[in-house]
C-alpha cells in the first residue's frame, strides 16, 4: 500500500511575513463572538517580540512553559483552560515557538473537538473528529514539527505522537527573522535534529524518490548552514527543517530517534540534545552521518555534554527499551523487515548502556 499523506495546505515564507498573520487570521474571524487562542512560548513573555503578536480583545493568549517537553497532562490542562474561557470553540489555535510549542498547539486543536484525554490518542490514526483550524509559527528550526502529521507527547506510559491527518497544521508562517535570536547551542541541537532526520531518512529502507528528493535538498542545506556558515543561514535552516520534515513524512526516522524517545521518556532529556547524545554512539549504523555530525558540532564549538546523563537503575533501562521497542516503523525503516532478529531487546539495552556511559 502506498501512503496517501496530507501536507500543510497554506505556507507563507519570507523575512517579515509574520506581519501578515493578522490579515491571514481575519478571514477566519467570521462570526460574532469568534476568538483565537494564541499559545506562545513563555521565553517571549519578557521580550519585544510579544508586542508584535496582535491580539484582539476577545482572544485568549496562553504563555506555555516548555522547560519540560509536552506531556498529555499539560495538553489536557490547556484544553480545560480554553473550555473554561468560553462556552464556544475558538476559531483558531496559533502556536508560536519551537517544536514543543507547535506540538502543544496541534494537540490542543485536536483535543478541543475530541473527547477524553490526549493520552487516549497516542498512536496512529486514533483521532475521530477534525481539529480546530490551527497555525504553526516556528521560532526555532529543525524538528519539522511545522510540517509533520504528529504531535509528540509524553504520556503516562509512553512517549508517542498523536499521528493523524487532522494533526497537520492548516497554515504555517515561516519567517526566518523569528529564529535569528535563538541561543546558539539550542539552534545547533534543534538543527541537528533536522540533520539526523535526513540521515535516517536517506539511509532507511523506506526511501523512495519522493523522500530522497526532499532529504537530499535538506541535507545539503544543513551542510551550507552548519559547515559553510552561509549568511543566509536562517532562511536555509528554515527550509531544511521543512524539507527534512517532508522527507520523513513519506519515509521514517530510524535508530537514533527510537533510542532517543526512550531516553526522553525516562530522563526527560530534550529531543535535540537527546538525539545528539544518541547519534554520537551510532557510528555502526550511520558511519558517514556521525562523522559529519561531529564536524558540524566542532565547527560551531559545541562540546557534547557526553557525561551529563545521570546514573540509571536497571528498571529504568528496561523502561527505555520498552519505549524504544514499540516504535516498530522506525526500526523497520532502519534495519528492514527482519529488524526484530537484527535488533533483539538485549542489543537495544547494550546501545543504551553505551549512551549512558
* Contact (Cβ atoms closer than 8 angstroms) between residue 179 and residue 238: yes
Q: Using CB under 6 A as the criterion, what x/- string covers residues 16-45 for binding ligand NAD?
A: -------------------------x-x--
Confirm if 269 and 255 have CB atoms less than 8 A apart: no
**Using rule CB under 6 A, residue 97 touches ligand NAD:** yes
Of 37, 40, 69, 330, the one binding ligand NAD (CB under 6 A) is 69
C-beta of 98: minimal distance to ligand NAD in Å? 2
Helices (H), 227-327: 233-249, 255-267, 271-279, 287-299, 314-325
Helix axes of 255-267 and 314-325: crossing angle, nearest 10 degrees:
140
- Partner whose footprint covers residue 16, from ligand NAD, Zn ion, none (CB < 5 to 8 Å by kind): none
Q: How far is the CB of 206 from ligand NAD (least distance, A)?
A: 16
Characterize 120-147 residue by residue with b for buried, 16 or more Cβ atoms within 10 angstroms of its Cβ, and e for exposed. ebbeeeebeeebbbbbbbbbbbbbbbbb
Comparing CB distances to ligand NAD, the nearer of 179 and 297 is 179
Phi/psi for 36 (5° steps) reads -115, 150
234 CB-side CA count, 13 A: 18
By three-state DSSP, how is residue 53 classified? coil
Q: Which of 70, 90, 176, 254 binds ligand NAD (CB under 6 A)?
A: 70
Q: Among 16-24, 94-102, 313-321, 334-342, which window interacts with ligand NAD (CB under 6 A)?
A: 94-102
Cell digits of residue 22: 493578522
Q: Residues for the chain: how many in total?
A: 357
Within its chain, how far is the Cα of 77 from the centroid?
A: 21
The region of 14-22, 60-68, 177-185, 187-195 touching Zn ion under the rule CB under 5 A is 187-195
Q: Does position 193 bind Zn ion by CB under 5 A?
A: yes
Which residue of the chain is nearest Zn ion when measured via CB?
A: 193
Q: If contact means CB under 5 to 8 A according to the sort of partner, which of ligand NAD, Zn ion, none does residue 292 touch?
A: none
Closest approach of ligand NAD to the CB of residue 210, in Å: 18
Q: Provide the 3-class DSSP secondary structure of residue 61.
A: strand
Q: What is d(CA 158, CA 320) in angstroms, rounded to the nearest whole number?
A: 10
Hey, which residues between 190 and 229 contact ligand NAD (CB under 6 A)? 190, 193
User: With binding defined as CB under 6 A, does residue 163 bind ligand NAD?
Assistant: no
Residue 145 within binding range of ligand NAD, rule CB under 6 A: yes
By CB under 5 A, name the binding residues for Zn ion.
193
Q: Which residues bind ligand NAD (CB under 6 A)?
A: 41, 43, 66, 69-70, 97-101, 103, 139-140, 143-145, 148, 150-152, 179, 181-183, 186, 190, 193, 270-272
Amino acid at each position: 500500500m502506498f501512503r496517501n499523506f496530507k501536507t500543510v495546505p497554506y505556507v507563507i515564507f519570507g523575512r517579515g511575513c509574520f506581519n501578515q498573520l493578522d490579515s491571514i487570521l481575519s478571514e477566519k474571524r467570521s462570526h460574532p463572538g469568534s476568538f483565537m487562542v494564541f499559545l506562545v512560548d513563555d521565553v517571549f513573555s519578557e521580550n519585544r517580540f510579544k508586542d508584535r503578536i496582535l491580539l484582539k480583545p476577545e482572544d485568549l493568549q496562553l504563555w506555555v512553559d516548555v522547560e519540560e517537553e509536552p506531556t498529555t497532562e499539560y495538553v489536557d490542562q490547556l484544553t480545560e483552560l480554553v473550555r473554561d474561557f468560553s462556552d464556544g470553540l475558538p476559531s483558531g489555535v496559533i502556536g508560536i515557538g519551537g517544536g514543543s510549542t507547535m506540538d502543544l498547539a496541534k494537540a490542543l486543536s485536536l483535543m478541543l473537538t475530541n473527547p477524553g484525554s490526549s493520552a487516549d490518542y497516542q498512536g496512529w490514526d486514533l483521532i475521530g473528529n477534525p481539529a480546530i483550524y490551527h497555525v504553526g509559527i516556528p521560532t526555532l528550526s529543525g524538528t519539522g514539527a511545522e510540517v509533520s502529521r504528529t504531535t509528540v507527547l509524553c504520556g503516562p506510559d509512553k512517549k508517542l505522537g498523536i499521528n493523524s491527518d487532522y494533526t497537520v497544521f492548516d497554515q504555517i508562517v515561516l519567517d526566518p527573522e523569528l529564529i535569528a535570536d535563538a541561543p546558539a547551542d539550542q539552534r545547533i541541537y534543534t538543527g541537528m535534529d533536522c540533520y539526523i532526520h535526513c540521515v535516517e531518512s536517506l539511509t532507511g529502507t523506506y526511501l523512495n524518490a519522493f523522500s530522497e528528493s526532499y532529504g537530499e535538498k535538506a541535507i545539503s542545506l544543513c551542510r551550507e548552514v552548519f559547515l559553510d556558515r552561509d549568511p543566509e543561514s536562517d532562511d536555509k535552516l528554515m527550509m531544511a527543517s521543512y524539507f527534512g520534515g517532508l522527507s520523513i513524512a513519506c519515509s521514517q526516522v530510524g535508530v537514533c530517534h527510537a533510542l532517543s524517545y526512550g531516553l526522553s521518556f525516562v530522563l526527560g532529556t530534550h529531543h535535540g540534545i537527546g538525539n545528539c547524545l544518541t547519534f554520537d554512539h551510532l557510528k555502526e549504523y550511520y558511519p558517514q552521518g556521525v562523522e559529519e555530525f561531529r564536524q558540524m558540532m566542532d565547527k560551531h564549538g559545541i562540546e557534547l555534554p557526553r557525561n551529563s546523563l545521570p546514573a540509571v537503575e536497571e528498571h529504568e533501562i528496561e523502561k527505555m527499551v520498552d519505549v524504544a521497542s514499540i516504535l516498530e516503523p522506525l526500526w523497520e525503516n532502519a534495519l528492514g523487515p527482519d529488524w526484530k532478529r537484527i535488533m533483539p531487546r538485549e542489543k537495544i539495552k547494550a546501545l543504551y548502556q553505551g549512551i549512558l556511559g
